[in-house]
Amino acid sequence: MDNFIFGQYSPGDSFIHRLDPRNKLFLTILIIVASLLIHSWVSPLILLLVCAFAIQTSHVGWHFLIHGIKFFIHMILLTSLLQLLLSRSGKVYWYFWIFNISSFGAHIAIMSFFRFIIAIIISMLFLLTTSPIEISDTISSLLNPLKFIHVPVEDISLTISIALRFVPTMTGEVHRIMDAQKSRGVQFHKGNVIKRIKMSIPIMFPLFINTFKRAEDLASAMILRGYTGNRYRSSIRKMHWHINDTIVFIAIILIIILIFLLIES
């Protein structure tokens, strides 16, 4: 769990951190889609350069990022290797039993390796530089058009932000409850099926009761502050579109258009 950084926010004040989260989400999706559509060998290298530039400016740290995605790189390498050895089409260079290396297989393997690497790096960078709260704000701003068909957008975004806010708090609580049970002599890794079933109850039950108590506290706090359902709420955090956002937006779009006009066509 410690070397697993997916979805973990790393706070900072870099150029990438300060970009508008809506802009970041849009460009992330755009780069992933572009990486799926390319067929030339040169285009992924350009996109990787863009990723490298983004990592450098985000101050997340190369070591931290690479350490976090090591697991995915192994998985992707394995899939690419299977594709390389098992697909037979075009010119065959080498074969043994069911394995063979063909020109088509090599192309497919290299392309799929680059595609996944780009998608993993760029989505990881988005999650590392955007806090959960910013993500939930972005989701609710994306849902905004649904107001016209009477979807309770404000309620949905409030629910999402409360849920994300309490994940770390409740995680801490789970660990405290587990420690408390351990100190009473409970062993979580031993025993037969019945014993293990019994062990899940002293963890689940306190957590459930606390969940309901916490919901009551939260509800009274909300009511006392004058909460009424599904009205527009002003936010303490405002998302601002700066001049930097425009520059990055235009730059990325230009790069992608150039890739498709000059290299792919």
Partner 1 sequence: MLNHTKAYKISILALFIAFIIIQNYIPLFGYSPVGPLSLTTIQITVIIAGIILGPVDGGIVGGVWGFLSLIKAFTAPSSPFEPLVFTNPLISILPRILVGLFAGYLFILFGHIIKKTSINMIITGLLGALLNTILVLGMIYLFYRTPEVAKAYGASNPAMIGKLLLIVVGTNGIPEAILSAIVTPLIADPILHFVKRDD
Chain residues that interact with partner 1, rule: CB under 8 A: 1, 4, 6, 71-72, 75, 155, 158-160, 162-164, 166-167, 170-171, 174, 178, 188, 193, 196-197, 199-201, 203-205, 207-209, 211-212, 214-216, 218-220, 222-223, 227-229
Q: Cβ(124)–Cβ(5) under 8 Å?
A: yes
User: Residue 101 or residue 178: which is nearer to partner 1 going by CB?
Assistant: 178
User: 137 with 154: CB under 8 angstroms?
Assistant: no
252's tokens: 């990325």
* CB of 62 vs partner 1, minimal distance in Å: 21
3-class SS shares of the chain: helix, strand, coil, % to 5: 75, 5, 25
* Tokens (6 digits) for 15: 């150029």
CB of 140 to partner 1, least distance (A): 13
Kindly state the smallest distance separating residue 155's Cβ from partner 1, in Å.
6
In the complex with partner 1, the residue whose CB is nearer, 106 or 178, is 178
H or E stretch covering 101: strand 99-102
| CB-based contacts of 233, cutoff 8 Å, min separation 6 | 154, 158
User: Closer to partner 1 at the Cβ: 56 or 210?
Assistant: 210
Q: For residues 95 and 208, which CB has a smaller minimum distance to partner 1 in the complex?
A: 208
Q: Whole-number minimum distance, CB 263 to partner 1, in Å?
A: 28
> In whole angstroms, how close is the CB of 1 to partner 1 at the nearest point?
7
Q: How far apart are CA 30 and CA 23, in angstroms?
A: 10
Give the residue with the Cβ less far from partner 1, 230 or 244: 230
Q: Pull the structure tokens for residue 36.
A: 């799926």
Q: Amino acid letter at 3?
A: N
